[in-house]
Amino acid sequence: KNQVEQSPQSLIILEGKNCTLQCNYTVSPFSNLRWYKQDTGRGPVSLTIMTFSENTKSNGRYTATLDADTKQSSLHITASQLSDSASYICVVSDRGSTLGRLYFGRGTQLTVWP
């Protein structure tokens, strides 16, 4: 069964600190993995997208890693800001359909305190 599991479920950190969010998946055949940021009451916004051959990708203070062998990904946030408070969702796409079906994790709810 294709699944995406994220940990931790929630995380509280102080402003300026770093943090790392984890994603494990069982989706096969794998096409790509993306991390989305979803502010409360808003739609998800893409942060990074990685294919099988990529193992790291950065977008400003966000750095995503991918280990396709172990089917794990992480999102590292550097020097956190109050505006980073949001849900971070790991999404995996398969190659097995013309739709390019997406499998969503439940997200990690990050809260940054001043």
Partner 1 sequence: EADIYQTPRYLVIGTGKKITLECSQTMGHDKMYWYQQDPGMELHLIHYSYGVNSTEKGDLSSESTVSRIRTEHFPLTLESARPSHTSQYLCASSQIDRGNYNEQFFGPGTRLTVL
- Binding residues for partner 1, rule: CB under 8 A, are 4, 31-32, 34, 41-46, 49, 51, 89, 93, 95, 98-102, 104-107, 109
For residue 21, what are its two tokens?
């969010």
Q: Residue 63 and residue 80: Cα distance in Å, rounded?
A: 12
Q: What is the DSSP annotation of 19-61?
A: EEEEEEE--SSEEEEEEEEE-TTS--EEEEEEETT--EEEETT
CB of 49 to partner 1, least distance (A): 6
CB of 102 to partner 1, least distance (A): 7
For residue 105, what are its two tokens?
């994790």
Nearer to partner 1, 38 or 72 (CB): 38
Nearer to partner 1, 51 or 55 (CB): 51
Nearer to partner 1, 51 or 81 (CB): 51
